[in-house]
Amino acid sequence: MKITFAEQADTEIVAYVVDENGALPDAATSLDEETGGLLTEALSQERFTGKHGQQAYIVLPKSCKARRAVLIGGGKPADRDGRAQEKIGALLVKTQAGSGFKSMAIHIDDAEFAARAAQGAELASYRFDDYFTKLKDDQKPSLESITVVGSNSDAASKAYEPLAAAAAGTALARTLMNLPPNDLYPQTYADRIKELEKYGLEVQVLGEAEMEKLGMGALLGVGQGSVKESKMAIMKWSGGKEGEAPVALVGKGVCFDTGGISLKPGPGMEDMRGDMGGSAAVVGTMLSLAKRKAKANVVGLVGLVENMPDGNAIRPGDILKSASGQTIEVQNTDAEGRLVLCDVLWYAQEYFKPKEIVDLATLTGAIVISLGHHHAGLFTNDDGMAETLTKAGLTEGERVWRLPLGSEYDSLLKSKFADMRNIGGRAAGSITAAQFLKRFIRDGQKWTHLDIAGVAWVEGEKSPIDPSWASGFGPRLLDRWIADNHES
């Protein structure tokens, strides 16, 4: 969507925000007079009260420049937080995108509100249509441009810049997740990451031979049943002080997770195209940082593999040697995400000495049972990180909820044959997975693990800012967290 800010605009649709039980906003009075009071009349019709998200449409007389006016309920101003603000932009896109009209103005004076509504509109206009070959014109969106009109348009436009960068990262994360696994596999995924160099990121891709030299036997073990070569991509954004230790973002990129020899049941397996959601969050964030030229040093590392059953696949009972030197008895080949992450986490620490690490992964079904679809699970060895990430999540509407770590859970990972096994048992599945990762974190290293299995994609009722299967969870949270905590 083309989004601009101006003090006035000529568009086919004009939208005004009406506070709950409030009057028509000043910006609407001239159109109201021009139409002999059509807008005022709409206020008292069809139960329109200005409740948040309500909409009333007015067909405008031929004498007007615009064709349609929309009144949208803004709710009570005191309740209008960032979520409510972005939802107003999103709902207008949702209802007007297929209206047949190409241009819309949204009248909002407050700069912060205007910027948030614009971000909501941008997020809501995301589409993933490339694989439909029979779409008729009336199934495609008509709306091409939105002008957010207000008296503070310069400030609004400035406030929107970082939000637009975050929205671009979200859109990229969504697309990577939505792409089918026959088109997005480690090599093609790495190619797409490489393309981000045009935004100023430095990208390095390692293949199996290089990872073998590094001893990354856990990650390589997962990919060994696939005909697709495993990869690790490393993205660097160096916008901070020279020589300052970076923040590391680490992502699970299982391009498809069949479960391997511990095969998953058939129904719903197609969702495992999204098992690279953690890596998509990292890649999306790196794009956001580059787009807004963040003043921070950040390195993103993603382990890209496909988990397939095959004559050459790892078996339950196999013992893998991780890059850290620790050995792992594989008791379930479907607990593969932690095997990928442990080697990438090792690499991040060995080569970058990061000040803080955040890893993201669609790691466990158990987190969906504990937290559902509205919070990611947060596990950390640092209270400060728990606090700053929780706050960033609340600001951006990508919420996280802390769960415990503890040595009692760690002992569930004992193996008869190796340093550890890759599953804990039935109880506390998300915690034992986090405990597993913690075994690869060096003493003194600040680290947080986000289990995003419940939030990376959502079936059923969805927020209007999130129209596609993949939510694109991550870039907004991480970009905000970096902006607020790691920039000079």
Residue 423: contacted member of ligand BES, Zn ion, Mn ion, none (CB under 5 to 8 Å, by partner type) = ligand BES
Q: Where do contacts with ligand BES occur on this chain (CB under 6 A)?
A: 257, 275, 332, 334-337, 362-366, 368, 423, 429, 453
Catalytic residue among 228, 338, 421, 438: 338
Cβ closer to Zn ion: 343 or 356? Answer: 343
Residue 429: contacted member of ligand BES, Mn ion, Zn ion, none (CB under 5 to 8 Å, by partner type) = ligand BES
What spatial distance separates the first Cα and last Cα of the chain, rounded to whole Å?
Answer: 32
Cβ closer to Mn ion: 329 or 336? Answer: 336
Residue 165: contacted member of ligand BES, Mn ion, Zn ion, none (CB under 5 to 8 Å, by partner type) = none
328, 419 Cβ separation under 8 angstroms: yes
- Contact flag: residue 257 with Mn ion (CB under 5 A): yes
CB of 337 to Zn ion, least distance (A): 4
121, 1 Cβ separation under 8 angstroms: yes
Cβ closer to ligand BES: 43 or 363? Answer: 363
CB of 397 to ligand BES, least distance (A): 21
Reply yes or no on whether 264 is catalytic: yes
- What residues contact residue 71 under an 8 Å CB cut-off, 6+ apart? 15, 16, 18, 24, 28, 39, 42, 43, 48, 55, 56, 58
Phi, psi of 150 (to 5 degrees): -175, 170
Size of the site for Mn ion (CB under 5 A): 3
Cβ closer to Zn ion: 87 or 273? Answer: 273
Please tell me the distance from the alpha carbon of residue 218 to that of residue 328, in angstroms, as a whole number.
8
Reply yes or no on whether 402 is catalytic: no
Q: Which of residues 308-347 bind Mn ion (CB under 5 A)?
A: 334, 336
Residue carrying structure tokens 């979200």: 170
Catalytic residue among 83, 192, 264, 446: 264
- Contact flag: residue 306 with Mn ion (CB under 5 A): no
Burial call 36-55: b when 16+ CB within 10 Å, e when fewer: eebbeebbeeeebebebbbb
Which residue number is nearest to Zn ion in terms of Cβ?
A: 257
Residue 188: contacted member of Mn ion, ligand BES, Zn ion, none (CB under 5 to 8 Å, by partner type) = none
Please tell me the distance from the alpha carbon of residue 208 to that of residue 210, in angstroms, as a whole number.
5
Residue 332: contacted member of Zn ion, ligand BES, Mn ion, none (CB under 5 to 8 Å, by partner type) = ligand BES
- What residues contact residue 73 under an 8 Å CB cut-off, 6+ apart? 17, 18, 20, 48, 49, 50, 51, 52, 53, 54, 55
Helix (H, G, I), strand (E, B) or coil at 382: coil
Residues at the contact surface with Mn ion, assessed by CB under 5 A = 257, 334, 336
The residues that are catalytic are: 264, 338
